[in-house]
Structure 1
Amino acid sequence: MHRFWEKVIKPIVIAAQPKIIVEIGSLTGLNTFKVLDYCKHSEAELIIVEPAPQYNYDLLKAYYGDHVTLLQKFSLDALPEIPKYDLLLVDGDHNWYTVYHELKLAEKMAEQSGSFPIILFHDTNWPYGRRDMYYFPESIPEEFRKTYERKGMQPGVSELLESGGFNNIALNAVYEHGERNGVLTAIEDFVKESPFSLRYYDLYSNNGLGIIVPESSSIRKVLPYILESSGL
């Protein structure tokens, strides 16, 4: 997601001026550090949801203080603990079940707080837009878990490759497409069902960036300009 910071995410953040940001999936912190610089200069707070951060959180906390909080949990366990947020960055477990239920939890928060957040998603294009991937397959209920293997992928080929291919170290669903399969499918299913009036935008570079914005959001007027001028 950090590849979208300068041209897309940063302009959205400046336009929306969120006070509470939640980032699902921090990993090495490449995007996290950029968000925290905004928070430090704007009196905002970043809540990181990451079960296995690959950086020293104690040092991060020492530098950014009250601007940062880490919830070292799975997203579906952490989100119910956060009563309000304005911006949600989703780059965690790339599968239908997790993303769909992250959105349902955001919807529940919005029903209680009266305000639906702006939500940005990474990996809405190939390879995980229409194919599940599992970091912790045991955390996904069996009825929602696709058959998966530790094999790589190739654009335009539904089946996993016998050797090589993209991201062949990950646990990838055996087949692409179909119901309840992939990040973009989860987003589409949610938007179609939600009682909130939402608009979805998509960028296709760098594995895809998806954006959900409530129809009432103040950034609706400037967002098309931001996306068009990004060149992505």
Structure 2
Amino acid sequence: MTGLLIHSVSEFSDLILEGLRLADALDIVEIGAEYGGMSALLAEHCRVRGGRLTSVDPAPKREFLDWVNANPDVRHVAKTSLDAFAELDAADAWIVDGDHNWYTVYHELRQIEAISRRAGKPLLVFLHDVGWPCGRRDMYYAPEQIPAAYRHPHSYDAGATLDRPALVEGRGFRGAGLAAFANVSGGARNGVMTAIDDFLAEELAQGREFGFAEIPVVFGLGVLFDMSATWSASLAELVLPYHRNKLLRTLETNRLRNYLRVIEMQDELAARAVRLGAA
């Protein structure tokens, strides 16, 4: 079923790589590798510029592990992001596509900002899954790793739909046993986009202003960047046509409705098979 769904951050590779070129980013940290599709493109970008890719993922797919073993110039840190920061150096850019919940993303941004400020580097972060379903709803790969005070009631079995905030039992977009979704979307400390909003509000209160673009397609890409960087105007010009673009948002909603209908049909077929088997 997932093979039918365009979902990878690598779908944004042309835009991300152009943004990295404009920012003259040499050293890059990638959080979340999965199969390594984006990793290979980032590694090549770093390689030709004399930089280095560091990829952080505690449990990537075998395809990534095979690839990284064949590419010793790429550093793989097999830890969760929040555990890995103690051994991460400052980078010119960060690709964040790991655990899609408020607690993780908020603290990733806080750590990235602190590391960058200490090193005197302008901030450049590309964040995936800022749209539906994780923009305003936490998803947990390992709920037990999220402190209880920040962990919403959640389910591995109930699914998210476009038309209601609460999960629906046995329907909708769900984690298939690999991830859990918060039972209800919205509200405080819930979701990737909420983490970004909170980070930006706190920074603004401290007199630090960042640019941010939201590209509302393929589950949403956020581009967070330092307005004082010499390359900020060029980057803003690159991403502005996509920022909250109404046509892209309409296409994404249509894509998701179609995919949710495919899930619904598969659920109906599975239920029918069960009934026939019991007959």
The TM-score, its normalising length taken from structure 1, stands at 0.93
**Cα RMSD for the two superposed structures:** 1.7
8 Å CA contact 2:35–2:62 kept in 1: the answer is yes
- Would the aligned equivalents of 2:58 and 2:79 in 1 still touch at CA under 8 Å? yes
**Correspondence for 1:187:** 196
Q: Which residue of 2 aligns with 1:174?
A: 183
Matched, 1:30 2:37: yes
Does structure 1 residue 206 correspond to structure 2 residue 218?
yes
Q: How much does 1:41 deviate?
A: 1.6
**Alignment partner, residue 220 of structure 1:** 232
Q: Is the 8 A contact 1:29 1:55 kept in 2?
A: no
Secondary structure of 1:212 counterpart: strand
For residue 78 of structure 2, the aligned residue among 60, 65, 72 is 72
- SS in structure 1 of the partner of residue 72 of structure 2: helix
TM-score normalised by length of structure 2 = 0.78
TM-aligned CA distance change 1:202 to 1:24, over 3 Å:
same
From the CA coordinates, give the structure whose radius of gyration is larger: 2
Q: Quick one: which of 7, 13, 20 aligns to 1:5?
A: 13
Equivalent residue runs for 1:82-231 within 5 Å:
82-150=88-156, 151-169=158-176, 170-194=179-203, 195=206, 196-228=208-240
Question: Secondary structure of the residue that 2:166 maps to in structure 1?
Answer: coil
Distance 1:86 1:44 in 2: 10
Where does structure 1 differ by over 4 angstroms across 4 or more consecutive aligned residues? Answer: 56-59, 228-232
Q: Give SS of 1:206's match.
A: coil
CA contact (8 A) 2:213 2:240 kept: no
Change beyond 3 A, Cα 1:193–1:228? closer
2:223 counterpart SS class: strand
The structure with more helix, counted as a fraction of residues = 2
State the shift of 1:83 in Å.
Answer: 2.5
Q: Distance in 1 between matches of 2:126 and 2:16?
A: 8
Q: Percent identity?
A: 35
Task: Flag the 1:220–1:184 CA change in 2: closer, same or farther, 3 A.
Answer: same
Equivalent position SS for 1:192: helix
Structure 2: runs of 5+ lacking an equivalent: 1-8, 249-279
- Report the CA distance shift for 1:58/1:160 in structure 2 as closer, same or farther (over 3 A): closer
SS of residue paired to 1:31:
helix
User: Which amino acid letter does the alignment assign opposite residue 15 of structure 1?
Assistant: L
User: Residue by residue, what CA displacement relative to the aligned partner does 1:21-52 show, whole Å, maximum 9, x if unpaired?
Assistant: 00001011111111112122221111000000
CA distance in 2 between counterparts of 1:168 and 1:52 reads 16
Q: Cα 1:206–1:229, aligned 2, differ >3 Å: closer, same or farther?
A: same
Shift of 1:53: 1.3
Higher mean C-alpha deviation, range 109-118 or range 76-85: 109-118
1:153 and 1:168 in contact (8 A); partners too: no
Query: Which of 1 and 2 has higher RCO (CA within 8 Å, sep 6+)?
Result: 1
